[in-house]
Chains A and B, each alone.
Chain A
Amino acid sequence: MGLLIVSEYVLMASLAVFSIAAVRIATRKSIGMGLVGISGLSIAIATLLILINRVYGIGFCRDIAYALVLLGPVGTIAFARVLRG
């Protein structure tokens, strides 16, 4: 297999590691830390879905990634707005 395929698999593995780290951060004591963790998790999952779309050819993963990239920040900003009061 070529270097591009190997680098895509390496990126998948690193995104999985980052997802685990983001979930661990989300469980920390403050609410803002949860927002940091979940927003990191959403971008990691969106990029992972684009990679799955390219490597395995699953078409709807791209649409889910688009929804995640658009709606994830909107939800985070809305929650932060509520947290600010």
Chain B
Amino acid sequence: MRPTPSRLLNVLVPVKRCVDYAVKIRVNPQQTGVDLNVKHSMNPFDEIAVEEAVRLRELLKDEVKSIKVVTIGPTKAAETLRTALAMGADSGIHVEIPDANYGPEPLGVAKVLKAIIEREKEKAPVDMVIMGKQAIDDDMCATGQMLAGLWGTGQATFLNKLQVDPKTRVAKVTTEIDGGVEELEVKLPAVFTTDLRLNEPRYATLPSIMKAKKKPIEKLSPSDLGVDLTPILETLKVTEPPKRTGGVKVESVDELVSKLRDAGFTAVA
């Protein structure tokens, strides 16, 4: 008798629409947040997560059954989903929320993701969640770990290498830590968060962008999932950081050395 084939992998990739990384942000005069009438794009760490999921399928072929992307955000966040679909994801879920100065807190987002995982349990149980290590707007660096905590699964954060064995359902990873790297083995299902050096995301080609328009996106609201996204922490204000009074140039190395000496910096060796 043939052994039962191991179950095929379903991958969930959460993505976030953020102010583009190259934009110099401005705090609004009311000090409630930053000016959001600027260019937005997919959080760079999430692009790496989508790329990793797509590469995983290219490597493991049919053993990756589905790649689903999910975003929580205003109407415009659908564009971010389309970008991910054009990179190679199969379908999307858009949890739509009103436009606001701040996105929901990581705890709320993790609860939404957990609810989506519960919902998928019957049709396509999620084996791997691959997501960015942090969003470049709130710089929280928390959602993946929170999701793993709520889900009760393993986690591997700040990945720079991911290898999955679909037979044993174990992932071997290398993660970036202070002062070096760490190697871990994580049983699936699990949550993985990407560091910058995991891969180089691809650009979507025009045909794939056209094709992505036909891929399905399911729309949901937080209440469909039974999650309340009201923030628990109160943001009292958002301000500009103190300005540096820099901008001084020196003419020569000699002048630089004397400036350093005046500030008390001399050679130690």
Report whether chain A binds chain B: no
Interface residues of A (CB under 8 A from B): none
